[in-house]
Structure 1
Amino acid sequence: MSGESPGEALPGATPSKQQQQQQQQQQQQQQQQQQQPTPPSDDTTAAAATATAAAATTATAAAATAATTTKAAAATAATAALAATIAVKTATAAATAAATAAATAATAAAAAAAI
């Protein structure tokens, strides 16, 4: 041979089946390497962890705010119910006082008429 290594094709010669298979294998390996997703970097992982922690903190704060708001609404409703009860009792007392005053006036009028 003239210094050519085995497996090298002569210029202008068609590639052998072995060379075609090697080229196909190389192309397949390159495609597989291109298709493999790159693993996340430490920065990406840290950013995701920070975002998750921030979301958890926000959710906790929202839950605490909702609980406080619910407690405040319940307290307001209880206060309104108490105020309504007091208003009814006050109206009842006023009606009783008016009835007592009317009865007292009627009694006084009857007593004056009897004299």
Structure 2
Amino acid sequence: MGWNISHGTDSNGEVRRSYTTMHNLGQQLAHVLSARDWRTIAFLFDGNACDVVIVAPRKAGKIAVVLSRAAQHRLMPSDWAKDAQALADSAQRAATARQPWEWS
């Protein structure tokens, strides 16, 4: 089981990651982000998400900036940076299209 995240680049237009991968990514993000930035995205990685998470386009744009910042951080391992950037890109696509960014 895992997350299917809208506005991705796979054949279904999604980013697909397992719950375990997303939990581990969240731990990596928490290590490289400021407390303020982490608070912006923590709800996506805290393990308390319901069946579907819908993020408004404006908030998705803010999340994209935070995830990109984390992906480019010098302490972010490159494999985790790729996942963070893939999420940032999908969040930005949702924001640009003025559509909700959905995790299901």
Structure 1 and Structure 2 fold alike (TM over 0.5): no
Name which one, 1 or 2, has greater alpha-carbon Rg. 1
Point out which structure has higher relative CO (alpha carbons under 8 A, 6+ apart).
2
Q: Which has the higher helix share?
A: 1
Q: Normalised by the size of structure 2, how large is the TM-score? A: 0.21
Q: Greater strand share, 1 or 2? A: 2
Q: TM-score, normalised by structure 1?
A: 0.19
